[in-house]
A and B are shown apart, each in its own frame.
Chain A
């Protein structure tokens, strides 16, 4: 992923509000990166731009060699479907779909056939095989996030974006989710871009990009602490 001179401004009450200003960085395939910073520093906006959820005001976002600025919304949706996985702070499972159906949706959107075994396998990996027919409201927060993880990996993404993945969970559950996330990511060889204000979580990635006031104030490589594996079978 190559971010070049990316800026994002909003017009509000006749004034220009700069949320991101001249952001530049390159993320290598298979690496893990955290974007950290205080509230209002532009982390989530940057994630939205990197994942093709929004347009930058200037600059370019290149993902898997595809320049997102040149695509319309539907084409970006297809890029997301083919190359990107998402994990959200508030899980964002579809409330009317069972756990299994939630995991199947990205594959169904691709028009793939015989996807049920793969989705069940993923649910098994996150330890929810026996809850596959449960609806999100019948699952705890941690279980919902595990379904979300299974869904994020279901389309075999090249890059995974996680927005405060433990923000809504208690410490114990957070630890389990983080381990699961890093294990799955490692086994799939996916690039991971993590937005968080939790420095402990950030320190588990190989690189930390610090934002403040919409600008990159630091970009540091760190030594990765391997989390304890909770996965018995590779993906």
Chain B
């Protein structure tokens, strides 16, 4: 007997032959193989498009950085100019301009309509880089020298105003010099939140809006005519700026901010697109699973003839790599086409004009991602090839064909690792990446679990009394090689994504609408001066509007908490306070009693200071206190417009922010702030749009300094923003739904051979075409119904959780949209299922057998 150890077993894989075999084996399957990868094309396309846009945007921001700021340096402050500030500003740059901005009402003289806007009073030559985009173009410069204004284009459209018309701001009229279409750093979205009107700074005093206590933001734009290292300049003056409570922005910091915020947007959208890609990959895995089953005999023959397990496996891995590459190239092509439309989609969010350019980096990333992910997911079914026994040549139904394989566990691990790595590259944070990966896996598991449960339910509880067509249609959901699980996961997750975006949009709008339902206040008048209080209240009463007095508001800044100052907080990150605690402006009120939207949870409420020498016990909102580690008895020192005031935290309040009330983080007792510069707020309830318009006109006419917010406006602004944001998210999430449908098309076509055999058998046994058509229609209806219902249930659960824990409001499922989404998905599934099966249903059994079997 020969010693086996002496046998010279070959080691090499004969790679050229493997490639040749992969090519040969693909001959009759190429269209099907392309169909397998069709489900990843859209996912790759969406990713390439978003990343290309991100890349292009970054380059554009880089190129147009100076135009974003309009100057070399910008200083801003909430305080009016002091000698110290003036000294700093005067020491900087070769050219300077000043801008004061604040909220006020605009009054269109022709139509008599009013609206809350942001007034920017400007002098000098700003912008030093870029320009105001105006119609006519000269208006951007000419308005500064006359009693003229530039009015935002959305306002002009909304109020049907034209250049030359007159507007009134405060007590002064301005002629509209032109339509403002763009200003440095301004996006369409910021304009719709607070439409801007520019007026010359020299006319600001005439408006009468610049009064003590007014909330004005002061900006100084600095331009150097000679090359200067701005960072050096900033380093030199930083401590002085801090001391004066001033912020600064350089071209570089503005650029970084813009890039950062757009990176956040593109990363978020990338993740949404990534979900579409993952869904497509499930489709790939499912299709390859069926493909491998069909290939068992071929593989067994190769094994019989002497092919090693690794060689058989590699033949198919090479095929998948090839189609993964082709799919990715097609995806990159689709992505490059979609990219052309993204700037249109995102136009309201973009601070710069984007010139579309092909981003080869993004295309390369997309190709790599497509190949890796299609291989990873295809590996799940492919590893079974290693275990296919040559015995299958002798016994077709060899029972050990598919056996459990530890390698699958490794592949699942690799897939998880890949999802996590991709997410980490987008989010740059361990915690968020783990949460995202966990959520994706959980959603997949829940959907797959529901699919398995549904199949069990159908199998277990389909009544025998159902007609044959119904029973057969239902049975198709759990028969061998069914696609129920794949389709419920892919279509269900797509539905869930789209529905969640829609539900959250509805939830946020409802929250605002509900908060002002009934007789709750729906209009806020602010900037009321002390001497105007009575007259404003009387005016409201004349309009028969309910008034419960006015609320005083005093602006102040926080100097220290238990002797911790802004400087100390910056140096010591272990303090645990939020960075904005010292930089923000606090709007504070004083009163002797609690209001309905608040209750004391800790300490005791002090309504009045008593004698002037006693300590000032203030009340702090409890979540603000918790986040900043502020406790009862802590000392908080405020700067009330120049006067330093030491207080002690006497109580904590829980505040219901959902109610339209004048709610405050900090409430002072009476007897402290009465003499401080202050303005007043009045809340009322207007019964109709007509009364609201008439009242607003009367207020603006008589009290030009008073600003008005009515809930209708807030609702409109929120609706507008949510619509714009929601549309972008829905557009990208839409790729998931389409991917789900592509997976559906692919799975119908892939299982065509199996269906042909069944159809032929049924037709031979006497089933009519109509009956087979009905069975197919019922099967797809159930698939669509289960997938849509599962997706909607998941979206409802997600929206409820978001409503409960993030937005702290009750989520009420919108019934009509749910029904519409459900029926649309069902109809689409049935339509696609039937269109792709019509070939099987409409031809004679013999004809099909000759062609296909």
Contact = CB atoms under 8 A, between A and B. Distances in A.
Q: Which 7 pairs show the lowest CB-CB distances between chains A and B?
A: A81-B306, A65-B2, A74-B308, A96-B27, A53-B390, A109-B306, A92-B301
Contact of A88 (B28, B306, B394): B394
Contacts of A70: 4
A105 B303 CA distance: 11
B306 A78 contact: yes
A155 B305 CA distance: 9
A64 interface: yes
Interface in A38-56: 44, 47-48, 51, 53-54
A116 to B, nearest CB: 13
A81 B9 CA distance: 11
Contacts of B394: 44, 47-48, 53, 88, 163
B2 A64 contact: yes
B26 A96 contact: yes
Given A74-B309, A86-B304, A111 B14 contact: yes
A37 interface: no
B304 A80 contact: yes
A77 interface: yes
8 contacts: A47-B394, A53-B390, A65-B1, A66-B2, A71-B4, A97-B24, A101-B24, A109-B311
Given A53-B391, A71-B4, A80 B301 contact: no
B297 interface: yes
Contacts of B21: 108
By CB atoms of chain A within 10 A, which of B1, B21, B306 has the most? B306
B389 A95 contact: no
A29 interface: no
Contact of A78 (B10, B297, B300): B10
Contacts of A111: 10, 12, 14, 17
A73 interface: yes
Contact of B7 (A66, A80, A81, A155): A66
Nearest to B4: A70
A105 B390 CA distance: 15
Interface in B11-38: 12, 14, 17, 20-21, 24-29
Interface in B284-312: 297-298, 300-311
Contacts of A110: 306
Contacts of A151: 305
Interface in B380-400: 389-391, 393-395
A97 B307 CA distance: 16
A71 B309 CA distance: 14
B395 A86 contact: no
A77 B306 contact: yes
Interface in B585-638: none
A9 interface: no
Nearest to A108: B17
Nearest to B297: A92
B297 to A, nearest CB: 7
Q: Is the interface of B mostly helix, strand, loop or mixed?
A: helix
Q: What interface size band does chain A fall in?
A: 35 or more
B384 to A, nearest CB: 15
Interface in A18-76: 44, 47-48, 51, 53-54, 62, 64-67, 70-71, 73-75
B28 A77 contact: no
Contacts of A65: 1-2
Nearest to B29: A96
A106 B305 contact: yes
B7 A77 contact: no
A92 B304 contact: yes
A94 interface: yes
Given A53-B390, A96-B27, A96-B298, A109 B7 contact: no
A53 to B, nearest CB: 5
Nearest to B299: A94
B632 to A, nearest CB: 72
Nearest to B393: A92
A109 B10 CA distance: 10
B263 to A, nearest CB: 48
Interface in A98-157: 101, 105-106, 108-111, 151, 155
B26 A105 contact: no
A138 to B, nearest CB: 12
B309 A66 contact: no
Contacts of B306: 77-78, 80-82, 106, 109-110, 155
A128 to B, nearest CB: 19
A93 to B, nearest CB: 8
Contacts of A53: 304, 389-391, 393-394
Given A92-B297, A111-B12, A111-B14, A77 B303 contact: yes
Contacts of B2: 64-66
Contacts of B24: 96-97, 101
By CB atoms of chain B within 10 A, which of A44, A51, A93, A108 has the most? A108
Contacts of A71: 4
Contacts of A92: 297, 300-301, 304, 393
Contacts of B395: 44
Given A73-B309, A77-B307, A88 B29 contact: no
Interface in B310-356: 310-311
Contacts of A86: 304-305, 393
A188 B4 CA distance: 26
A95 B308 contact: no
B24 to A, nearest CB: 5
Contacts of B307: 77, 81, 109
Contacts of B29: 96
A101 to B, nearest CB: 6
Contacts of A108: 14, 17, 20-21
Contacts of A75: 4, 7, 9
Contacts of A80: 304-306, 390
Contacts of B12: 111
A18 B310 CA distance: 32
Nearest to B311: A109
A110 B9 CA distance: 11
A66 B723 CA distance: 76
B310 A67 contact: no
B309 A109 contact: no
Contact of A54 (B28, B302, B391): B391
